[in-house]
Structure formats: C-alpha cells, structure tokens
Amino acid sequence: MAVVIGDTCINCAACIDECPVEAIVDEDDNPTGEEYYYVYPDKCVECVDHFDSPACAEACPTEGCITWDMPFAGDDKEWFKEPNYLDGEEYGVENFDVDMPYRDDISMEDRKAHKPVVED
Ligand code: SF4
Ligand code: SF4
C-alpha cells in the first residue's frame, strides 16, 4: 500500500477517478466484503511520480477517512498476508509478487497507526 480507506467512507465516489492507477474500487467490488470503497495495496503507488501527495485523500470530503498503511514492498508485504486490515479483517490482494512505490518520508510508526493522509 499504500493508503487505506476506513469505515467512515460515505461512498461518495470523489476519490475513484482521481487515482492515476485505478487502484480504488467501490463498495460493490470491495474484496473484503465491507460496504465502502477499497484501495488495492498491490496497485496503489501512493501517487509517487504522479502527484505531490495522494490524490484520493486530497479529494476525499470525509476527514481522516483515508490513512497511511504499510508499504507494499519487500518484507513489509508480510503485513498484508496477516489479518491486519481494519477490524482485523484480511486484505484483498490480487498479486503478491509486485513491489509498489511508496513515500519513504512517511514513517512506519505513522503507517501502522493509520495516520490520516490529510490532516487539518
Ligand atoms: S494514493 Fe494515489 S495511487 Fe494510491 S489509491 Fe490514492 S490516488 Fe490511487
Ligand atoms: S472520497 Fe472518501 S468518502 Fe468518498 S468514496 Fe472516496 S474514500 Fe469514501
């Protein structure tokens, strides 16, 4: 990952067309079964080489809804094989073999704590 969409999502669709790599799906296609939008960690590039910051979070009207998650790269991918998704659910991942770009200025502590990408 990446970033993760939390259960305060109101399914407003403001984020989905902002994503440059089509990593976001709506509630009907959320592989976790939750009824809100979802970011595939094996597709999200944290908007590296596209924008200065994650475009989905900039577009989201719900404060704190989109938060940081662990990088989908190297040993950190183990995080996504465990039930570490929100409320202890399992992530939906289509391809564990890829290593995705991530912003190395975001600390692992902030990622594990799901710090909001956009803070007031
Ligand atoms: S951070 Fe960027 S690449 Fe990742 S889901 Fe959001 S818009 Fe897409
Ligand atoms: S913009 Fe925010 S509230 Fe709207 S669908 Fe995306 S994550 Fe959910």
Give tens-digit pLDDT for 32-52: 999 999 999 999 999 999 999
Which regions of the chain are under pLDDT 70? 1, 120
The CATH code of the domain that includes 87 is 3.30.70.20
Determine whether the shortest distance from the Cβ of 18 to ligand 1 is under 6 A: yes
Give the Cα separation of 85 and 39 in Å (integer): 11
- 116 assigned to some structural domain: no
Question: Helix, strand, coil: what percent of the chain each, to 5?
Answer: 20, 10, 70
The whole model's pTM is what? 0.96
Choose one of 37, 39, 68 to mutate for the ligand 1 pocket test, by most ligand atoms within 8 angstroms of C-beta.
39
Which helix or strand (DSSP H or E) is residue 38 part of?
strand 38-39
- 117 assigned to some structural domain: no
- 120 assigned to some structural domain: no
- 91 assigned to some structural domain: yes
Structurally, how many domains does the chain consist of?
Answer: 1
pLDDT of residue 15: 98
- 114 assigned to some structural domain: no
Domain containing 42: what range? Answer: 1-106
Q: Are 70 and 112 in contact (CB under 8 A)?
A: yes
- 113 assigned to some structural domain: no
